[in-house]
Structure 1
Amino acid sequence: MKINILHICISSCIALNLLLMSACNKLVQVDTPDHLVDSEVLFQSKKGYESAMAGIFIQMRALNLSMTNGGMEVYMGVAADEIYPTLVGGVEEEFFKNQLQSSNAVVSNFWIYAYRGIYRANLVIENAERDQMLSLTDRQNFLGQALFVRAFLHFHLCQLFGDVPYISSSDYRANAVKARDSKSIVMESLSKDLERAAELLPKEIKGERVMPSYYAAIALLAKVKLYQGQFEQVLDLTDEILSNKNFTLEMDLNDVFKIKSAEVIFQIESTVANTAVAMNFLPFSPTSKPMYVLQHDLLQSFEVEDLRKKAWTESNILDGTAYYYPTKYKNKLMTPIEECNVVFRLAEVYLMRAEALFGVKDYDQVLSTLNSLRKRAGLKDKKYVDAAELWEAIVNERRHELFVEGGNRWLDLIRWNTIDDVLGASKPSWQSFAKYLPIPSNEILLNTHLIQNPGYDN
């Protein structure tokens, strides 16, 4: 009998967690019991919970260019107006032309690995909620971490695919026939997850910020509220993060994405290699062509004095042509490990706050917030002229601060409802339905309750 990807059985899921754990001793300082292969045994000890959570995060970094391991930066950067592939053909060309097939392997992996992570998070949630063995602090911490993961993955799924099934249990039989929930319902459901996670997770900031904390939860919640237009709540949440002196902007732009960056709120750690982003964006040598090149319009949009262009882009000159590529992450080598996959950093919090301030028409504070980032970038303060120009300043600062980072440009164009104007002007083949990815055809075959997005064939 065919089983949908959501139907991963408990034993194989936990076995894979434990297999992956053998490659990771830094993420969690415990010896993983290699004989635990089912959830009833695994969740009878604190070490078991640690292994389960570590396995979730390892899987999020296991597949090169999955949704949580460079795929948003690379593929959604290509789909938007940030970068283009130098190799012709393949899945990259489908993304660049926004002509994706429902059988596209990248799209399928986005879906599969996200729901696999959600399934595992649900196992932790269900066991932690009924646990009688853990201390209250440990129980709350594991529960909060798993709720954060479930919200984080659902958030990206609904931004990329639109309506998606919101999966809140590990009952794969029920999940096998789960239809798509509206995007608004998914956003409301994951908001509740984040609110609960924030109540449970610790506020203490430790080490390299590779596990979800209270501040990671409220940073994602602020992003959700921003997308929903709930600006007052965004201001409350971002102000709380900005008031914590543990988070500070790195004045040297070359340090922003380092593993010990004071700007990082949450990052996904790997103990076996540096980031997939660097491995795909950085060329092999000064004489080789980068696989992905920054779009001319993006490069030209930077102000001349903008230090972000200098610090975060480089070029290789081949046959008289300069090929510019992103260098936010700077280590292409496997080791030593100097960078993690940054999920949230303080600069994005500033930008969310600026947009929320614009939403409540506090224009003076918008300028003050934007100018904090402009000062770090070596730029002069912006002056207020009118609301239209101020909004354009917000758009530009987001574009220049967050380029090829987390798929933010793609998501911004969708939520601002400007994607047709922007991509319609730069891509002759653009069609409006392409703002959402196709539901993978294999998933529709396995679950007939899933309905394909308009414009795509099953």
Structure 2
Amino acid sequence: MKAKFIPLYIIALSITSFSCKKFLDPKPPKNVTSAGLAFQDEKIATSTVLGMYTSMNGYNSQFASGFLSTLMSITADDYYYAATSYDAYKNNSLLPSTSYLDRMWSQPYAIIGQANSVIEGVANSSLSPSVKAQLTGEAKFVRAFCYFYLVNMFNKVPLVKDTDVFKNNNLPQSTKQEVYDFITQDLVDAVGNLGDAYPSAERVRPNKKAAQALLARVYLYTEKWDLAESTASLVIADNRYKIPEDLKSVFLKTSEEAIWQLLTVNTSTAGVNTWEGFSIVPTTTTGNPLYRVYQTTLDAFANTDKRKLDWTTEQVYNSVSYRYPSKYKYRTATPVTEYNTVLRLAEQYLIRAEARANIGTPAKISEAVNDLNVLRGRADVDLLSSSLSKPDALLAVENERHFELLGEWGHRWFDLVRTNRAVQVLSVTKANGFTASDMFIPIHENILKTNTNLKPND
């Protein structure tokens, strides 16, 4: 049997500086141990699982450390970057040669490789059944999470299900439906394996409700309205999660709204709370706020909306006032008070509202409006009427998702694309217009060179 290798903390992140190498390298990095040894010891096996989260949040400008949120927000109409670095995203002129697109592919696959190693290693180990279930559940959750973003960015992607790198380096792309079926099964398995209790003192490792929260999103995206409604309801019913009145508390590491967060890992820059805050918050109170919320987006908020007042910040630069996104308040601060929040309760209300609005009966639309009003009430804006028509209810959901989830994890971009609203909405905001072809994110040319079976995005 060929030896398999797994990382203890960080898989070979040289994948990030991608060239023409295979995106799955059969040679193990130096900081690994063979799976046969690692998974005979519970502490080492758990450390290997924790290494997945370190890989996701250990460095700046990585897929899961705020970079996906930044790039997709700029590509949509959340905010833009005032310098030229991300003009291709702001202008929706992405090409296979555009910088950073390779990271959005190679980094999720690196994490998927880690998850596959965990799943195989645990299955062949002598660990206790409860530990096997927990670690397998976490790995399947993380694998599903990565595939969710891969398929929503690139539509058709290879399904890497194991650690056979020689086979996987030449896999063809699976259809979007095949990928979603795989994601759904991974999350159903994760729900079955994970316990209700968090396996850590903080909410930085997924539990059953985290898996259900992501599964509810998947059901929404695949238009399984009844399942999206019922699964989101399971999360909402858990009294550990609350919608706090104080918006400034939502992204703290102690947030009662958080369902899953990424633990702060300062591997290169002391005092970082979140890499998103480190990138976006201006260096001084008089400095240039390079990340600026689109004026059309600011104008869409009600004047009293606390989300505009508390989650964006005004700064004057060269006698001009700009607002920058400020859900995360700190570039650096000690001790750490903010964690990168991945899943939170407000999204579950929005998922349930959209599912109910799509079911479309008067009773369900009334319930959808009630869900939206939970968030509108917290934001101090007028409550919606329960007698909205179905089209008006769906538009209200779209707007509420924009206000509530602005700048988070690419939600706005994925929402506009999946509902086929991108052209109508973004052609108003984008100075150079927006056409249907702009909805497709190309696979980077260096990625295409690694596998002759890969085809460019449609």
- Which TM-score applies when normalising by structure 2? 0.91
Query: Structure 1: how far apart are the matches of 2:249 and 2:63?
Result: 25
Q: 2:7 maps to what in 1?
A: none
Report whether the alignment pairs 1:444 with 2:448: yes
Q: Specify the SS of the correspondent of 1:348.
A: helix
Query: What's the secondary structure of 1:37's corresponding residue?
Result: strand
- Deviation, structure 1 residue 4: 0.9
From 393, 399, 402, the counterpart of 2:402? 399
Task: Name the aligned partner's letter for residue 164 of structure 1.
Answer: V
Letter in 1 for 2:162: S
Q: CA deviation at 1:180?
A: 0.8
Partner SS state of residue 354, structure 2: helix
Task: Give 1:430 deviation, angstroms.
Answer: 2.8
Contact 2:141 2:187 (8 Å CA) reproduced: yes
Answer yes or no: is the 8 Å Cα contact 2:58–2:265 preserved in 1.
Answer: no
TM-score (ref. length: structure 1): 0.91
The reply to whether residue 83 of structure 1 matches residue 79 of structure 2 is yes
| Distance (whole Å) between structure 2 residues aligned to residue 123 and residue 325 of structure 1 | 40
**TM alignment of 1:47-446, pairs within 5 A:** 47-88=43-84, 90=85, 92-131=86-125, 133-205=126-198, 207-272=201-266, 273-333=272-332, 335-361=334-360, 362-383=364-385, 384-427=387-430, 428-446=432-450
Q: Tell me if structure 1 keeps the 8 A contact 2:358–2:390.
A: no
Cα displacement string for residues 345-372 of structure 1 (whole angstroms, at most 9, x for unaligned residues)? 0000000000011111211101111111
Counterpart amino acid of 1:381? Answer: L
How big is each residue's C-alpha offset from its partner over 1:286-324, in whole Å with a ceiling of 9 and x where there is no partner? 111112100000001001111111111111112321111
Q: Check conservation: 1:70, 1:277, Cα contact below 8 A.
A: yes
Amino acid at match of 1:84: Y
Residue 135 of structure 1: how far off its partner (Å): 1.1
8 Å CA contact 1:355–1:394 kept in 2: the answer is: yes
Amino-acid identity (%): 31
**Which of 21, 39, 46 lines up with 1:43 in the alignment?**
39
CA positional deviation for 1:246: 0.5
Partner amino acid, structure 2, of 1:418? R
- The superposition leaves residues 152-206 of structure 1 with CA deviations (integer Å, 9 ceiling, x where unpaired) of 0000000011101111011001101101111111011110000001000011145
Q: Residue 250 of structure 1: CA displacement?
A: 1.4
Judge which range, 275-284 or 193-202, deviates more: 275-284
Which secondary structure does the structure 2 equivalent of 1:370 belong to? helix
Sort the Cα spacing of 1:434 and 1:38 in 2 relative to 1 into closer, same or farther, 3 A: farther
Inter-CA distance 42–323: structure 2 relative to 1 (3 Å threshold): same
Q: For the structure 1 residues 105 and 51, does the alpha-carbon distance in structure 2 shift closer, same or farther, using more than 3 Å as the test?
A: farther
2:101, 2:282 → 1: CA distance? 25
What displacement does 1:220 show? 0.6
The alpha-carbon deviation at position 432 of structure 1 amounts to 2.2
1:424-443 CA distance string (max 9 Å, x none): 23322534223232112112
Cα RMSD of the aligned pairs, angstroms, is 1.6
Structure 1 CA distance for aligned equivalents of residues 63 and 102 of structure 2? 10
Distance (Å, rounded) in 1 between the aligned partners of 2:433 and 2:375: 35
CA contact (8 A) 2:365 2:388 kept: no
Cα-to-partner distance string for 1:239-260 (whole Å, 9 max, x where unaligned) = 1111110111111000000001
Alignment correspondent of 1:29: none
For the residue of structure 2 that corresponds to 1:6, the secondary structure is coil
8 Å CA contact 2:225–2:356 kept in 1: the answer is yes
Of the structure 1 ranges 225-234 and 101-110, higher mean CA displacement relative to structure 2 is found in 101-110
SS in 2 for 1:388: helix
Amino acid at match of 1:253: L
SS in 2 for 1:323: strand
C-alpha distance in structure 2 between counterparts of 1:410 and 1:286, whole Å:
30
Check 1:48–1:252 CA distance in 2 against 1; reply closer, same or farther (3 A cut).
same
Measured after TM superposition, the shift of residue 63 of structure 1 is 3.2
CA distance in structure 2 between the aligned counterparts of 1:431 and 1:379, rounded to whole angstroms = 33
Structure 2: gaps of 5 or more residues: 1-19, 267-271
SS class of match (1:7):
coil
Q: Which runs of 5+ in 1 are unaligned?
A: 17-35
**Does the 8 A contact of 2:311 with 2:325 survive in 1?**
yes
Question: Structure 2: which amino acid aligns with 1:416?
Answer: T
Give the drift of 1:334.
5.1
2:392 corresponds to which letter in structure 1?
E
Query: Given the superposition, is the C-alpha separation of residues 80 and 189 from structure 1 closer, same or farther in structure 2, using an over 3 Å criterion?
Result: same
| Separation in 2, partners of 1:115, 1:138 | 25
Q: Which is worse superposed, 336-345 or 269-278?
A: 269-278
* Distance change (3 Å), C-alpha of 1:116 and 1:82: same
Counterpart AA for 2:289: P
Note the C-alpha offset of 1:450.
0.4
Q: In 2, Cα distance between the equivalents of 1:225 and 1:303?
A: 31
The yes-or-no answer on 1:5 pairing with 2:23 is yes
CA–CA separation in structure 2 for the residues paired with 1:122 and 1:52: 12
CA contact (8 A) 1:140 1:200 kept: yes
Partner of 1:32: none
Measure how far apart 1:130 and its partner are.
Answer: 2.3
